[in-house]
Structure 1
Amino acid sequence: MKKVKLFCLAHAGGSAMYYCKWKKMLSDSIELIPLELAGRGNRITENFYNNCNEAINDILKQVSGKLDNSEFAFWGHSMGTIITYELARKLKELKEEEPVCMFFSGRCPPHIIKKEEKIHILPNNEFINKIKEYGGMPDEVLKEEQLMKLVTPILKADFKLIDDYKYVNDGFKFNCDIVALIGKDDKGGATKEFREWSKYTNGNCKIYELEGGHFYLNDREDEILNIINQKLVFQ
């Protein structure tokens, strides 16, 4: 049975630890590699990135050090989807390497991302209220005041990356397959918009609608991991 490395990037305010619980549910043929951004988790003492390019270049170094001619795939949720897309693009342009599949979760394709106010510059209480409106953090985190004090600086740093991100629409396409997943009640996009991911590849593009909102993956792990296992191992 073939071996595949699965690199994962979390949502805004999230950590690589978010994906550790996936390991026991993934096929033994899949090596789970959660990627940690600076300023959180085991990199809590490091400075936040100034822009999206800094994040992408940093993560590219992590990924490049783990590539060994075996097959690999990417998973990104929400903000992680944008970084994953740009990371995979840069990897192809610089090293001519491409994943066998990219899993994009909870985020519309970059050409139709809606530009709104830059919320990272708001006072903390207004910022958190905006996060609640967007459904941009799990409820269990938002309810914990002390935890929010720790998470808010990370969230603001991540939303700065999102707020300042600029997509270059130059017709670039991948050749690998894309799997896009969305919660049916996600406020951040509609299924019709998610189908636009098909424009980003010469390969196949499959869309999954799962029950739940922006953080549908908290309650749909079995379904998600079955999709990943089927795509990477048994297809």
Structure 2
Amino acid sequence: MTKIKLFCIPYSGSSSMYYYQWQREIHPDIMIIPIELAGKGVRQGEPGYDTFDDMVDDVYTMIASFLNDSPIAFYGHSMGALVLYELCRRYKVDQRHTKAVIFSGIATPLYYNHSKSHKLPDNPFYEYIVSLGGVSEDVDRKEFITHFMPLIRHDFQLIETQGFQTLERIIESEVAVFSGREDEFTIMVNEWKHCLSVIPFSRVFPGGHFFLHSERYNVIKEIEAFILK
């Protein structure tokens, strides 16, 4: 059987490293292909993106050579889900032998057209990231604000200045929305149907915004079931 290539797009401030762990646990018929964004992980020395469109274009360049292969699937968490949405809207990746598109841990893209969290002063912005579960308890607050938060703030700025549009067509692959029960964005899951012109399959996991960590095994098994059905 030909393996399904699953492209995994990371969340704000993170690298592709986390997704490499999934390959050991996911079904052998699925091949994980983690996406590394500029300025993160092994591409840390590269300059970041000037616009959200630049990020989407870069990801498309990375995956374009695979799009004629069959079959493929996509998973994006948080900012990665917004990148995935734009890949569907602008590049129609859901029409390319695609088994499944999974948006994870994110409000409807249209929500971010009215969000301005990137303009918060350092301490309130830090507290907002903490509220999402994006800062571990052993992290030094001052060091995080100085060294890591500028990267996250820049990602938020790209998101909140993008100006997302509705898809205005029906996604042509199976589509799902994953969310965490305690995540503030979960109440907006039903709004996805207005962007996608279809009611997606919805799966709510225990946990908050970063349920993909706390519920890793269950998330992987749900991805398996959704892609391989």
Matches for 1:1-235 after TM superposition, within 5 Å: 1-92=1-92, 97=96, 99-113=98-112, 115-117=114-116, 119-133=117-131, 135=132, 137-140=134-137, 142=139, 146=143, 149-169=146-166, 171-190=168-187, 193-199=188-194, 205-233=200-228, 235=229
Task: Give, in whole Å, the separation in 2 of the partners of 1:122 and 1:196.
Answer: 26
Answer yes or no: is the 8 Å Cα contact 2:6–2:30 preserved in 1: yes
After superposition, the C-alpha distances for 1:190-229 in whole angstroms (9 at most, x for unaligned) are: 1xx3133345557772111110011111111111111111
Amino acid across the alignment from 1:159? F
Shift of 1:96: 5.5
Task: Give, in whole Å, the separation in 2 of the partners of 1:138 and 1:98.
Answer: 38
Task: Give, in whole Å, the separation in 1 of the partners of 2:67 and 2:227.
Answer: 17
SS in 1 for 2:66: coil
TM-score by length of 1: 0.86
Shift of 1:170: 5.6
Shift of 1:88: 2.6
Answer yes or no: is the 8 Å Cα contact 1:138–1:215 preserved in 2: no
Task: Give, in whole Å, the separation in 2 of the partners of 1:149 and 1:198.
Answer: 39
TM-score by length of 2: 0.88
SS in 2 for 1:39: coil
Aligned-residue identity in percent: 28
SS in 2 for 1:116: coil
Decide whether aligned partners of structure 1 residues 4 and 58 sit closer, same or farther in structure 2, where only a CA change above 3 A counts. same
SS in 2 for 1:28: coil
Answer yes or no: is the 8 Å Cα contact 1:5–1:32 preserved in 2: yes
Shift of 1:145: 5.1
Task: Give, in whole Å, the separation in 1 of the partners of 2:211 and 2:138.
Answer: 15
Q: Over aligned residues, Cα RMSD in angstroms?
A: 2.5
Answer yes or no: is the 8 Å Cα contact 1:15–1:41 preserved in 2: yes
After superposition, the C-alpha distances for 1:134-153 in whole angstroms (9 at most, x for unaligned) are: x1614347556545543222
Amino acid across the alignment from 1:139? S
After superposition, the C-alpha distances for 1:72-126 in whole angstroms (9 at most, x for unaligned) are: 1110111111011101332228x95252211111112223447232x33444334
Answer yes or no: is the 8 Å Cα contact 1:5–1:30 preserved in 2: yes
Decide whether aligned partners of structure 1 residues 138 and 27 sit closer, same or farther in structure 2, where only a CA change above 3 A counts. farther
Q: Gapped runs of 5+ residues in structure 1?
A: none
SS in 2 for 1:12: coil
Answer yes or no: is the 8 Å Cα contact 2:9–2:16 preserved in 1: yes
Q: Gapped runs of 5+ residues in structure 2?
A: none
Structure with bigger RCO (C-alpha 8 Å, 6+ apart): 1
